[in-house]
């Protein structure tokens, strides 16, 4: 069963340093495209990656690129990771070290805003940065999302 909000709640509860990006961030702003995963840009330190592992521990996380390989982070593995693509009982989670069109975690953090979600406050890529990111990705669903986000941005400008 998919529970994308639950995945974010878990990350939040385990003090993972992350910024919500991608399709779920677009939904936060009012985008209507269905998303089947959670994309976050996070700090790729051993401590933060261990927090991700702890947050997902009982959700049977496995690497999406190698589904037979469970998530078992070691200090050596943590030091070599740039991205982490996971499948969990609650749905896919993509942990990114960099967001195309925005930059690394520090840049994503700088271009984020705090949004109140059901589990509490969450850093979400700003509307402008999310549009840049989606434009840089330039896949068909990203182009649709860009049009939606630009329309939302225009509505926000109106008195």
Confidence band, pLDDT 50/70/90 cuts, at residue 1: low
Residue 137 pLDDT exceeds 80: yes
Domain count of the chain?
1
CB 86 within 8 A of CB 64: yes
Cα gap 91→46, rounded to integer Å: 23
Confidence band, pLDDT 50/70/90 cuts, at residue 148: very high
Residue 124 pLDDT exceeds 90: yes
How does DSSP assign 76-141, residue by residue? HHHHH-SEEEEEETTEEEEEESEETTTEEHHHHHHTEEEEEETTEEEEEE-HHHHHHHHHHH--HH
Residue 143 pLDDT exceeds 80: yes
Q: Residue 60: which domain range?
A: 4-157
Paired strand residues for 62: 70, 87
* Residue-level pLDDT at 67: 67
pLDDT digits (tens, 9 = 90+) for 12-68: 999 999 999 999 999 999 998 878 899 999 999 999 999 999 999 999 999 988 767
* Residue-level pLDDT at 32: 84
Residue scoring higher pLDDT (110 or 74)? 110
Query: At residue 45, what are phi and psi to the nearest 5 degrees?
Result: -105, 160
| Beta carbons within 8 Å of 83's beta carbon, 6+ residues apart | 94, 95, 96, 97
pLDDT digits (tens, 9 = 90+) for 78-108: 888 899 999 999 999 999 999 999 999 999 9
Mean pLDDT of 125-132: 96
CATH code of residue 72? 3.30.460.40
* Residue-level pLDDT at 89: 95
Cα gap 152→13, rounded to integer Å: 30
């Amino acid at each position: 069963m998919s529970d994308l909000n639950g995945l974010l709640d878990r990350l939040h509860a385990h003090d993972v340093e992350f910024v919500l990006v991608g399709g779920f961030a677009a939904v936060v702003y009012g985008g209507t495209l269905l998303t089947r995963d959670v994309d976050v840009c996070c700090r790729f330190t051993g401590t933060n990656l261990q927090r991700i592992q702890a947050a997902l521990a009982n959700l049977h996380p496995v690497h999406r690129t190698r589904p037979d390989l469970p998530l078992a982070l070691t200090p050596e593995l943590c030091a070599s990771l740039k991205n982490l693509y996971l499948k969990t009982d609650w749905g896919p989670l993509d942990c990114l070290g960099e967001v195309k069109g925005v930059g690394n975690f520090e840049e994503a953090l700088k271009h984020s805003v705090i949004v109140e979600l059901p589990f509490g406050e969450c850093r979400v890529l700003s509307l402008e940065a999310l549009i840049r990111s989606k434009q840089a990705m330039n896949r068909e669903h990203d182009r649709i999302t860009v049009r939606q986000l630009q329309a939302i941005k225009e509505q926000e400008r109106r008195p």
